[in-house]
C-alpha cells in the first residue's frame, strides 16, 4: 500500500517537482512526508525488517563495509571502440542488394533481418549509451555470482549466440557463474 502511494504521487508530479493541474486538485502530500509518517506510525520498523530480510536471502549485505567499486571493464570498452565491421558500435547494417532473396526468406521465418545478423560478429561492440553521471556510479564490492539463463524457442542461432557471448564478455568474470541456454521445445533444425 505504501509503495502504491509513492507510485501515485510520483506519477502525478512533473519532473521538476511541481504538481500538475490534476494533482493540485487533490493536494497530495510530498513523498518525504509520506515516508516520515509511515516510519513514525510503524513502531515495528517494518521497512528495516524487509531490508534485513532481503540481505539475508541474498547473502549480500545492503551496506558493504569494504565500500563500493566501479565494475566497468575499461580495457574492453577501449578495445570495442576500435572494432570495425557490420553492426559494430550498434550501427545499422544494410545488406548488399544481391542478398535480398535470402534476407526476405529469413525474415518470413524469424520476423527480423536474420541474414544481416549472420554478418554481424558474435562479439559485436556496443556504444556506452549511459548518461555521463551514470559512469560515476559505484556498486557494492562484494556481490554474489549469478547464472544467466536464456530461454529460447525457435531463435535464430546468430542472435542467440550473440546474447550468450555478450553476457560472457560484459559480465565481470568474478560475478558470472554460467550462461545457460534453455531450448523451450524448438522445432527448427540446427543451422
Residue 188 belongs to a domain:
no
Residue at a domain's end among 28, 58, 88:
58
Residues 88, 178 within the same domain: yes
What residues contact 139, with CB distance under 8 A and at least 6 apart?
68, 69, 71
Residues 75, 47 within the same domain: no
| Band (14; pLDDT cuts 50, 70, 90) | very low
Residue 143 belongs to a domain:
yes
- pLDDT, tens digit, for every residue of 154-182? 999 999 999 999 999 999 999 999 999 99
Question: Can you give the residue range of the structural domain that contains 156?
Answer: 68-183
Beta carbons of 167 and 179 less than 8 angstroms apart: yes
Residue of 142, 155, 145 whose CA lies nearest to 182: 155
Mean pLDDT of the 66-93 span: 91
Residues 50, 93 within the same domain: no
Residues 81, 173 within the same domain: yes
In this prediction the pTM is 0.63
Residue of 51, 52, 25, 36 whose CA lies nearest to 2: 36
Residue 86 belongs to a domain:
yes
- pLDDT, tens digit, for every residue of 18-59? 444 444 444 445 544 554 555 555 545 565 565 555 555 555
Residue of 185, 146, 144, 153 whose CA lies nearest to 167: 146
Residues 90, 42 within the same domain: no
Q: What is the pLDDT of residue 54?
A: 55
The number of domains in the chain is 2
Amino acid at each position: 500500500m505504501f509503495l502504491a502511494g509513492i507510485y501515485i504521487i510520483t506519477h502525478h508530479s512533473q519532473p521538476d517537482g511541481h504538481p500538475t493541474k490534476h494533482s493540485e486538485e487533490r493536494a497530495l502530500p510530498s513523498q518525504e512526508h509520506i515516508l516520515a509518517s509511515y516510519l513514525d506510525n510503524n513502531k515495528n520498523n517494518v521497512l528495516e525488517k524487509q531490508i534485513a530480510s532481503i540481505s539475508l536471502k541474498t547473502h549480500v549485505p545492503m551496506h558493504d563495509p569494504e565500500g563500493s567499486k566501479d565494475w566497468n571493464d575499461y580495457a574492453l570498452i577501449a578495445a570495442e571502440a576500435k572494432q570495425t565491421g557490420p553492426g559494430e558500435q550498434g550501427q545499422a547494417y544494410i545488406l548488399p542488394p544481391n542478398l535480398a532473396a535470402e534476407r526476405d526468406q529469413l525474415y518470413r521465418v524469424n520476423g527480423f533481418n536474420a541474414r544481416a545478423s549472420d554478418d554481424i560478429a558474435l562479439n559485436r561492440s556496443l556504444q556506452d549509451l549511459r548518461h555521463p553521471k551514470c559512469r560515476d556510479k559505484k556498486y557494492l564490492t562484494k556481490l554474489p555470482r549469478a547464472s544467466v539463463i536464456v530461454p529460447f524457442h525457435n531463435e535464430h542461432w546468430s542472435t542467440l549466440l550473440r546474447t550468450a557471448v555478450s553476457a560472457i564478455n560484459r559480465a565481470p568474470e568474478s560475478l558470472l557463474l554460467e550462461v545457460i541456454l534453455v531450448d523451450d521445445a524448438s522445432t527448427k533444425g540446427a543451422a
